Structure 1
């Protein structure tokens, strides 16, 4: 569990982990990035993210400028959720929700409002009471048949296997260093594999080439900066790891279906 309170901003930081993550975001507006999903969030946004699905948030503004951005984050293993539902048949719907969360789920405003006070209360409880509180929250959310899937199915990582440690090392390295465009040789050393072995491993787990995966991370960071700042587009391209503005514009258009300038203008019109 994490009660994250940030005065300046929620920073863009790609990461992944084997646990499911339930995040309630308060007093904040911005964008969330989950797999290949990019969407706007507002106060009370409640999302469940599946295991090993890369994600990040990036804030654009506070709702109350005198209070911090708040993210109430809860992690739990899918195995724990399944064990709970096997023990308590009344929680059977939770297993189905966990499976649906492989692409990320955004809960409806009505259910987010219903769960919010329980989640806020959960963070005030002693450790021995938090489990029961979390089970109550999950049981409520499992009834939300209209929760929206976020990422596409092609973003869902492959099921864990004997090589999960290798791919996690590679993904962690990429998430920290993608702006410098790490080479295949560099990443193969991280994985302790040949270049061809890494290529096969990466495809099997992410359904993407390493080049395409890194490109998506760079464009995701550029989207966060375009929506949250007035920095020149050339500077944003450079920060995201592009040495060529023309290449940045071409890849952005191919992935987002619009130019960086048009993307920024779409957020300016919405404000």
Structure 2
């Protein structure tokens, strides 16, 4: 599977793009990025989402905003209603679109603030996502001018969500800090391999081979783009996967540790607590007791 720079659909007479995606077979793991912001509402589907170094569970009504060039994908597990397809409503808009909107109209400054917060991905609270959902569905059926106004209204509502959660611990550099396409393709090959194999083990010599760089060149490139080391990035992926399993299943903690790539339960417990501020058992107890 090759990483790719996704080419978005061009919509005639529109300043932004959208897609009504319905899949019977499920949302596939397609690790990709693009220079636009992406707002995605997922319905009738359960599975995992991968956004930067974040791994988390998603369900019906999941609503996320992803910043430019932040690698991401979804991988569905099941349909909630087996008679209906997995359904994703996807909206894309550029950084320039946000700048023009907020620069020309002071009333829309909150949209620019939301965009800055979304650089590392934002997952919106269930309450706000529920209130926004009918507006998102309505804009896909509206006429062009009304569709634009509905999108702006949705973004303004999302900007008021103080409970929105940052997803990735790292974010890509801004466009003017980035190197050429060859450099982007190198880091994409490395990230795809890490996201595909983090539970089975990551060898740095294999990553250097994929990047066509020396080991020292690989580490410099990775830290520049991911803003962290390879080992820390892999640790965050493993712990993120463990969080999804702890909150969404009754699997034994030792089994989860092994499934996400830890040979030592003690090491898993230590790294989990370092990132989450609590043990895996305490993290699971929060969900068992019905707390966020």
Instruction: Report the CA distance between 1:216 and its aligned residue.
Output: 0.6
- What is the rounded CA distance, in whole Å, between the counterparts of 1:228 and 1:174 in structure 2? 23
Q: Does 1:136 align with 2:149?
A: yes
Instruction: Report the CA distance between 1:58 and its aligned residue.
Output: 8.5
Deviations 1:25-76 (A, max 9, x none): 44678987755778887754433121233556789999x7677695524142
User: In the alignment, which of 156, 168, 171 is matched to residue 191 of structure 2?
Assistant: 171
- 1:148-163 → structure 2 map (5 Å cutoff): 148=162, 149-151=164-166, 155-160=170-175, 161-162=178-179, 163=183
Instruction: Report the CA distance between 1:217 and its aligned residue.
Output: 0.3
Q: Does 1:239 align with 2:259?
A: yes
Instruction: Report the CA distance between 1:221 and its aligned residue.
Output: 0.8
SS in 2 for 1:147: coil
Instruction: Report the CA distance between 1:105 and its aligned residue.
Output: 3.6
Report what 1:250 is aligned to: 270
Q: Which moved more, 1:89-98 or 1:168-177?
A: 89-98
Instruction: Report the CA distance between 1:107 and its aligned residue.
Output: 4.8
Contact 1:78–1:98 (Cα < 8 Å) also in 2: no
Structure 2, unaligned stretches of length 5 or more?
1-18
Q: Which moved more, 1:257-266 or 1:18-27?
A: 18-27
Report what 1:147 is aligned to: 161
- What is the rounded CA distance, in whole Å, between the counterparts of 2:167 and 2:126 in structure 1? 22
User: In the alignment, which of 212, 217, 230 is matched to residue 232 of structure 2?
Assistant: 212
Report what 2:65 is aligned to: 48
Q: TM-score, normalised by structure 1?
A: 0.75
Residue 110 to residue 179, structure 1, CA distance change in 2 (3 Å): closer
SS in 2 for 1:175: helix
Residue 102 to residue 10, structure 1, CA distance change in 2 (3 Å): same
What RMSD in Å do the two structures reach over aligned CA positions?
Answer: 3.9
User: In the alignment, which of 244, 247, 261 is matched to residue 281 of structure 2?
Assistant: 261
Q: Does 1:195 align with 2:215?
A: yes
Q: TM-score, normalised by structure 2?
A: 0.71
- What is the rounded CA distance, in whole Å, between the counterparts of 2:60 and 2:283 in structure 1? 22
Q: Does 1:3 align with 2:3?
A: no
Structure 1, unaligned stretches of length 5 or more?
none
User: In the alignment, which of 82, 87, 103 is matched to residue 120 of structure 2?
Assistant: 103
- What is the rounded CA distance, in whole Å, between the counterparts of 2:238 and 2:120 in structure 1? 20
Contact 2:37–2:94 (Cα < 8 Å) also in 1: yes
Q: Which moved more, 1:202-211 or 1:254-263?
A: 254-263
Q: Does 1:78 align with 2:94?
A: yes
Contact 1:178–1:217 (Cα < 8 Å) also in 2: yes
- What is the rounded CA distance, in whole Å, between the counterparts of 1:156 and 1:23 in structure 2? 18
Deviations 1:129-157 (A, max 9, x none): 6x656533331033234223532895222
Contact 2:56–2:244 (Cα < 8 Å) also in 1: no
- What is the rounded CA distance, in whole Å, between the counterparts of 1:49 and 1:147 in structure 2? 15
Instruction: Report the CA distance between 1:208 and its aligned residue.
Output: 0.9
Greater helix fraction, Structure 1 or Structure 2: 1
Report what 2:133 is aligned to: 116
Instruction: Report the CA distance between 1:92 and its aligned residue.
Output: 4.9
